[in-house]
Chain A
Amino acid sequence: MFENIPILSLLILFPLVGAIAAFMMGRSPKAAKYAALAFSAIPLALSTLLLTEFSLTGGFQFVEKYQWISFLGISFHLGVDGVSITMVFLSTLLVFLAILFSWDVEERLHQYMGLMLVLEVGVLGVFLSLDYFVFYIFWEVVLIPMYFLIAIWGGVNRAYASIKFFIYTHVASLAMLLGIFALFFTTAPLLQADGLIPADAIGTFDMLLIADVAGGLGEMLQIAIFGALFFGFIVKMPVVPFHTWLPDAHVQAPTAGSVLLAGLLLKMGSYGIIRICLPTLPEAAVDFQLIMAVIGVVAIIYGALACLAQSDLKKMVAYSSISHMGIVMLGIATLTQLGIAAAVFQMFAHGLITAVLFMVCGMFQHKAGTREIPMLGGLAPKVPILSTVMMMGFMASLGLPGMVGFLAEFMVFTSTYDAWGVWVLVPIATVALTAAYYLWAMQRSIFGELTTKIDTKHLHDAYWFETVPLAVLLGLIILFGVWPAFMLDLITPSIPMVWPLSGVI
């Protein structure tokens, strides 16, 4: 019934229109707020519709393909499979909730809302496009609004953080661009030989066509291209030692910015590996397997240890993202269907959970005036809702069963054991570390005796626009924790698509 509606284009179009509208509402910023909420609600509705209409057989669905710059083989090619639909739903959800959570922003409100929607355009474009050129443009589009969100609405040290963010990810993008060019030029003769593109064409940027033939490239070439693309993606994830932009960016970014940065932007990196690196260059992936595993494990442990040392609640949560994205990397590194499916599920889980965590940090900043853990203490009786939400978020993040993070982690570790045996002891030991930093942070901030270092007389518990997004997120965290099959049934049939050559290993 939706065959004739270009639903994916509409997904990108609505936030774009909304963004333009919001930018033009400088005279009545309040209206911009409502417009932004409405224009982010539509994509959320569309992606929910997509979830229900998506067929569980796997494969790319709702595909749209429009010729764009045909002499370069560039087309506006969109499609979703089980991996991207998960990310698309997450994106539309988080942007909508982040806009709602920003209800009390006053400074340059219309621009703020506009940028949030531009960000949504970029992120959705990345997750939907099946053309390298379009993919890259959207990838770069994402950078700009995030840069401004940090640079304008950020904290004291925002200039440093925003520039650091911009340079880091831009350098990474360049490496990725080199990889894309290399793919474009080297696959052209193979595509021509197979008759997939006309003999006089320069090449194509079509991801699926390139993936069909790139396995025929020489091994050294594959490794080189894989390396360039991979570097571009892991900086975004990020992994140690290319991660230091992340804590700075988070500490300075406004709350909604952090939510989207950790919830969506980090996922672009791991999504890129799953969408591009693995299916396109499977042999190189096998060569990189051990590197990926080591990178993942190092990120898991290093991130968790760094968390333990932080005194700023938000910085701790930022490092926890590094640790949890390390689990994604480890799942990918197993190169098994179970591991990759678990990695995607973990991306989804982390998106929901980390959004709660950053909102909690934002509320501490807002209400207590500080996020420094040593300044807090004993706040649970004063702000019961905030404390409850904090505890639920922390429990979800440390992988408590009944919440969405548990099964994802569990499946990653299961496939790690399957692949490397008792080496799983090394990453799984951090399960205790993770619990340690969260419980310790709670002990010092909401339990114990009431702090005298800050004014606690006028503490206000959560406002409605904070409670609603948090309730929605926690509801979904529990829903998908109790009923993970809903997401896994979407994701798993698509993993063979992403990874057609699992027989290679």
Chain B
Amino acid sequence: MTFAEYAWLIPIFPLIAFVVVGFLGNRLFKNWEGGAPIAIGMTAISLVLSLAVAFEALTTGTGTPFIQSLEWIVVQGGEFAFTFNMGIYIDNLTALMLIVVSFVATLVVIYSLGYMHEEGEKKRRYYAVISLFISVMLGLVLASNFLQMFIFWELVGLCSYLLIGFWNTRPSAASAAKKAFLVTRIGDIMFMIGLFVLFVGFQGNLDFAYIFDNVDAFVGGNELLTFGTLMLFGGAVGKSAQFPLHDWLPDAMEGPTTVSALIHAATMVKAGVYLVARSYPVMVETPDTMLVIAFIGGFTAIFAATMALNNTNIKRVLAYSTISQLGYMFLALGAGGYIFAQQPEFNVGYAAGTFHLMNHAFFKALLFLSAGAVIHAVHTEDMRLMGGLSKKLKITSLVMLIGCLSIAGIPPFSGFWSKDLVLEAAFAGIEYNSLFILLYAFGLITAFMTAFYMFRLWFLTFSGEPRDKHAYEHAHEAPAVMWVPLALLAILAFGSGFAFLFGFESTLVPGLMDFHPHEAGPIDLLTAVFTNVLTYASIAAAVLGIGLAYMMYKKRAIDPARFTSGSVGKTLSNVLLARYGFTKGYDWIGLKVVYGTAKVVDFIDRRLIDGLINGISAGLIRSGNFLRRAQTGFVQSYAAVIVVGVSLIVILLFLVGGVI
């Protein structure tokens, strides 16, 4: 017996929670936290099974994936024989994702017990949908083919829509939910086109196992395949909120903070990175696509980081940091794939992308849930109304500090290891394409900015004097159901990076393709990292960022207002707060272009087409007044007309037929 054979049950358990909590009515769960115990229990069972499956795959894995599938649709015969399967595909990447998703999800649901306690009857809806969210994300991770992945991909989108709009009586929440769904749907359209290209190119087979082993069997040439992979990446751009489809993610902060934590750390936005990592064997065949991925990733990283610099909403800062960190992952994957096309020994990019995905999941979940604990305590998301909270929220301030150190990339916190690897991959690209000089610079500057805005956030929230006395007086540390998950995440945010020293690279990579793993021990790896000049460059960037934040927001040696006074500073600051005009741009396209066209179509419909029709009929009625008399209102007379008509036709037929 192997655990992998039961892996299909992993998404089933949360699905059961969804059905039970969602459909068995309010009365049953009234005194039961809206069904929270069921959601927690089922997610926890998934976690245990996920860990078992992942452990098995990572330790006994031979590099060949475990595959199990059922035929979902079989179409036989003729030119269009094809089979769509539903199945599971477990390799080391799947194992990694299973651990990340189910672990973070379980902690988030437990944490919700405290965070969502005061939501009353709405809790049941919350626990039902969040269970479904977890279920479909696990389904996405386990999918054995592109179509199945797309199906779960869309369902993940639905759940995020429902959860971002959870407080649906707030107009802003309903609007943000809609925006998230529509903007990601633009990406989904590209994903679909990518699927068509693969479906036709691989003659009706979308199974990972088949495509990865038979990339050469693609019909249509490399240009078409490049187009196809580019379109697949388009799906990832929407889902993972990359430039230019990034603007939905800051708005998505309208959902409960627990949902933000889940979306940013484990589900939804991670799906895009997972898609690229999963399709790597196809993607590396198209270096041009890889270059685009690297560029979009690198640009998004710095672009999003700038918007976090002066935002005062604690959740928005974290949202921008997510976009930026996802950019890092794409930068690494893209650079790695681009280099791989020319030097099939190079695995740093792939390892860096997936490694950062894992580390980011832990520290970002930690940061969001800590932010949730702060919001829970002071009932505001505005950092201008916080300050000095470390005295009241001792645990929260400590764990959040760990999260900040991790994301800033201070050794030995987890973010350091993967960020370093990301930058190393980007730097390695310079040898092959000078564009990577720019991308590496973007990455390094982003590291500086990240350290700055994260510590700005920490200092504004926790240090100094309270700026809102009333909120400060009422602030209280989170209950144990909230801080225990935080503590667990803090341990991982500190320690998950050490996986690098114990063979993360060599474990994850061989499952994918014929890489030659480094058989290097921890000491060798450690030496390699700390003898590299690049490492010190990235550490320096982080330290500088923290130092600047310290000078500005702790020591107050540099007045932050200096940067927003003066016309240039003011303009720049406003541009950042206006998100470079993207929000307005989206609205303009939606309202003016699309809705405007719709109004034109409506005019054509009412005035032109119907106007013409009504004009003709009015003319006819005036001349004959025929219809008015014809409409007698009796069934019999209409029936008579029909009978007479049919008889006439028969007679006519007979006559004409006779003539012939």
Contact = CB atoms under 8 A, between A and B. Distances in A.
Contacts of B168: 380, 446-448
A425 B171 contact: no
Given A338-B80, A448-B169, A418 B154 contact: no
A309 B595 contact: yes
Contacts of B602: 305-306, 309-310
A422 interface: yes
B649 A177 contact: yes
Nearest to A436: B182
A195 interface: no
Contacts of B590: 436
Interface stretch (A9-17, A409-417, A460-468): A409-417
Nearest to B162: A391
A122 B594 CA distance: 41
B199 A435 contact: no
B605 A244 contact: yes
Interface string A403-433: 0001100100110011000101100110111
A63 interface: no
A184 B660 CA distance: 12
B635 A485 contact: no
A140 interface: yes
B45 interface: no
Contacts of B660: 185, 188, 202
Contacts of B155: 400-402
B154 A401 contact: yes
A485 B74 CA distance: 7
Interface in B306-354: none
Contacts of B75: 338, 341, 488, 492
A395 B177 CA distance: 14
A148 interface: yes
A406 B147 CA distance: 12
Contacts of B598: 305-309
Nearest to A189: B660
Interface in B207-228: 227
B174 A400 contact: no
B199 A137 contact: no
B158 A241 contact: no
Nearest to A447: B174
A484 interface: yes
B609 A309 contact: no
Interface stretch (B259-267, B461-469, B638-646): B638-646
Given A435-B185, A439-B181, A381 B73 contact: no
Chain A, interface SS category: helix
B638 A400 contact: no
A187 to B, nearest CB: 12
Interface string B60-88: 00000000000111111111100000000
A449 B642 CA distance: 53
A336 interface: yes
A302 B200 CA distance: 28
Nearest to B75: A492
A401 B609 contact: no
Nearest to A111: B635
B154 A400 contact: yes
B476 to A, nearest CB: 30
Interface string B143-178: 000000011101100100100010011110111011
Contacts of A341: 75
Interface in B597-631: 597-599, 601-602, 605, 609-610, 613, 617, 627, 631
Contacts of A413: 192, 196
Contact of A309 (B154, B181, B227, B599): B599
A424 B80 contact: no
Interface in A336-384: 336-338, 341, 378, 380-381
A159 B631 CA distance: 10
A436 B594 CA distance: 10
Interface string A254-270: 00000000000000000
A151 B627 CA distance: 14
Given A244-B605, A336-B79, A432-B189, A144 B639 contact: yes
A137 B169 contact: no
Given A72-B654, A305-B597, A401-B155, A443 B178 contact: yes
Interface in A139-181: 140, 144, 147-148, 151, 159, 163-164, 167, 177, 181
A502 interface: yes
B656 interface: yes
Contact of A417 (B189, B196, B649, B658): B196
A502 B154 contact: no
B16 interface: no
Contacts of B597: 305
B193 A181 contact: no
Interface residues of A, number: 74
B600 to A, nearest CB: 8
Contact of B610 (A244, A429, A440): A244
Given A302-B601, A305-B597, A448-B171, A181 B613 contact: no
A432 B174 contact: no
Contacts of B595: 308-309
A378 B171 CA distance: 9
Contacts of B654: 72
Contacts of B91: none
Contact of B197 (A163, A417, A440): A417
Interface string A280-320: 00000000000000000000001001111110000000000
B578 interface: no
B297 to A, nearest CB: 24
A274 B430 CA distance: 58
B291 to A, nearest CB: 21
Q: Which of A435, A446, A496 has the most C-beta atoms of chain B within 10 angstroms of its own C-beta?
A: A435
Interface string A222-248: 000000000000000000010010010
A450 interface: yes
A394 B196 CA distance: 25
Interface string B179-203: 0011001101100110111011000
B182 A439 contact: yes
A79 interface: no
A493 B456 CA distance: 66
Contacts of A188: 660
A144 B634 CA distance: 11
A10 B633 CA distance: 31
Contact of B189 (A414, A431, A443): A431
B585 interface: no
Interface in A170-215: 177, 181, 184-185, 188, 202-203
Contacts of A446: 168
B657 interface: yes
B572 interface: no
A448 B165 CA distance: 10
B657 A185 contact: yes
A163 B196 contact: no
- Which 9 pairs, one residue from A and one from B, show the smallest C-beta to C-beta distance? A309-B602, A447-B174, A308-B598, A417-B196, A401-B151, A202-B657, A309-B598, A305-B601, A338-B80
Interface of B: 71-80, 150-152, 154-155, 158, 161, 165, 168-171, 173-175, 177-178, 181-182, 185-186, 188-189, 192-193, 195-197, 199-200, 227, 590, 594-595, 597-599, 601-602, 605, 609-610, 613, 617, 627, 631, 633, 635, 638-639, 642, 646, 649-650, 653-654, 656-658, 660
28 contacts: A151-B633, A159-B631, A177-B649, A185-B660, A244-B609, A302-B601, A305-B597, A306-B605, A336-B79, A337-B79, A338-B80, A381-B169, A402-B151, A410-B192, A413-B196, A417-B196, A425-B193, A428-B189, A429-B189, A435-B181, A448-B168, A449-B171, A485-B71, A488-B75, A489-B74, A492-B75, A502-B78, A502-B79
Given A309-B602, A337-B77, A418-B200, 12 more contacts: A72-B657, A137-B646, A167-B617, A307-B598, A309-B601, A337-B79, A407-B73, A413-B196, A417-B200, A448-B169, A485-B74, A496-B77
